[in-house]
Structure 1
Amino acid sequence: MTGQLPHTARSDARENRARILDAACAVFGEEGLSAPMREVARHAGVGPATLYRHFPTKRALIAETFAVQRRACHAIVRDALADADPWRGFRNLVERVCELHARSRGFADAFLAALPEATDFAADRERMLRGVAELARRAQETGWLRPGFVVDDLILMLMAHRGVQDAPRAARLAASRRFAAYVTEAFRAAPGTGTPAPLPPAPRLRFARAPGTP
């Protein structure tokens, strides 16, 4: 019986860690990085001591929580650069990055903000922007991407896209896809000419009511 205790303890620890990461993904994803650690612990059904034993700092928890999204960002840039058609690769990058950010408020916060909790994302951001700069150069050479595009325009786009998080959860992805379609048309060298691609379906959106209004 005693020989089983270490194995049981390790199994419990793995389960607790998995629950914490699932909870952090849900809490940070919906509330952003401002959500307190105690809320993650409550959502995971563990005590604060258990949470801090696995993740001594909020920075460590955030880095692990969004590891999948960080790898996805690298894959998006890699796939776009590998596309034989730079403009198509650029369009796909915009669409996929917007969707990735729409799925999680916390990841959008971590990617865009220079916060102590998100310092692990700085290298990811710089690596992505270097890839975008190279992709943009290729797309401009083909004549499809407008000559005035600079990498900072992608950051501007993502800052504007951040507002999608305020839409109802069920409408966020649809809103993100429609936003991306409008933006890529604006990035095109001759917007408004030719036959534009069909827009994704428009989501049902409503202005949020002010607190206390019926």
Structure 2
Amino acid sequence: MYGGEERPRAAARATTGAAARVQRWWQDARGRRHALDAGDRLMAPPSDAPRLRRDAEVNRRRLLAAAREVFRDRGLRATLDDVAHHAGLGVGTAYRHFRNKDALIDALFDDMLARVEEVTREGAEDPDAWRGLATHLERVAELQALDRGLREVLLGTGRPMPGESEFRYRIGRHVDLMVERAKAQGVLRPDAEPWDLMAIQLMVAAVTDRTGRPDLWRRYLHLLLDGLRAGPEPREPLPCGDLGEPPTPPGRGFFPRTEPSPPPSPPPSPSRSPSPRDGR
């Protein structure tokens, strides 16, 4: 009797133990699955990442648009904080996109000068050499009058820009061609030089800076163009003779006559002196 009763109880204990082990295994499996799910949630990119990227790009564009307006009105002395406030963004947002004001100006540099190069190239390609020269001076002066930041870049009153020498070299080639063609067509006085066009831009820009009247430059550009144009009567020779080379010391506002050299290569690493052990 005793042995008969013990066997069912042993079987029940075994069944209970097996159930407990299955239950513990299930709980452990659920725990591992929850841990894996949590890890996947941590490793997976957040669902709003595309929206954050879009917001960052929108903010960058807002900063660039605001910078064009701020530098146009106040010149390159305006700060990155000024640009952020004008864009309606926090200063921290501005510094996340641009480490400082110089980085922001560099981002605008190509766009600013591309307009000037286009105007100059069109002037050099105009079949009517005088019209091309006069229109070039008028359009560049207009760009400068309306954009103080661009004026400071072109006239060299701001900091040097990356690629500035190459840009001035490209512009200088168009100006040389403009002057050469105008002389060949007999519409430009023979003693005029390409440097004279840059000096005229300096003079005209000074009118805007000194008077604050954005259209007054047109009067003085007209007077200067009359002085450049060849006439039927002989002209008094210009003083200072043939300019030939830029003034000394050469200002950044004038065009280089030679193609800028590539940046120098880094110096070679110093060679190690031979050691007595090298021969062993």
- TM class, shorter-length: 0.7 to 0.9
Structure 1 179/63 Cα, relative in aligned 2: closer, same or farther at 3 Å?
Answer: farther
Q: Would the aligned equivalents of 1:95 and 1:181 in 2 still touch at CA under 8 Å?
A: no
How many aligned residue pairs are there?
189
Question: Runs of 5+ in structure 1 lacking a partner?
Answer: 194-214
Normalised TM-score (structure 2): 0.61
Q: Could you tell me which residue of structure 1 aligns to residue 190 of structure 2?
A: 147
Q: Could you tell me which residue of structure 2 aligns to residue 28 of structure 1?
A: 71
Q: Could you tell me which residue of structure 2 aligns to residue 50 of structure 1?
A: 93
Distance 1:67 1:91 in 2: 25
- Selected match of 1:12 from 52, 55, 65: 55
- Secondary structure at the aligned position of 2:93 is classed as helix
Distance 1:113 1:162 in 2: 12
Percentage identity across paired residues of the two chains = 33
Cα offset for 1:165? 3.6
Structure 1 181/69 Cα, relative in aligned 2: closer, same or farther at 3 Å?
Answer: farther
Question: Could you say what the CA RMSD is over the residues aligned between the two structures, in angstroms?
Answer: 2.4
Q: Which amino acid in 2 is paired with 1:190?
A: G
Q: Could you tell me which residue of structure 2 aligns to residue 176 of structure 1?
A: 217
Q: Could you tell me which residue of structure 2 aligns to residue 159 of structure 1?
A: 202
Give CA-to-partner distance per residue, 1:101-136, whole Å, 9 cap, x none: 111000010111164353443322221122101110
Of 94-103 and 63-72, deviating more is 63-72
Distance 2:131 2:188 in 1: 10
Normalised TM-score (structure 1): 0.77
Q: 1:108 and 2:167 equivalent?
A: no
- Selected match of 1:59 from 78, 91, 102: 102
Structure 1 5/150 Cα, relative in aligned 2: closer, same or farther at 3 Å?
Answer: same
Question: Runs of 5+ in structure 2 lacking a partner?
Answer: 1-44, 235-280
Of 145-154 and 88-97, deviating more is 145-154
Kindly indicate whether structure 1 or structure 2 has the higher relative contact order, using CA contacts under 8 Å at least 6 residues apart: 1
Distance 2:169 2:123 in 1: 16
Q: Could you tell me which residue of structure 2 aligns to residue 189 of structure 1?
A: 230
Structure 1 90/191 Cα, relative in aligned 2: closer, same or farther at 3 Å?
Answer: farther
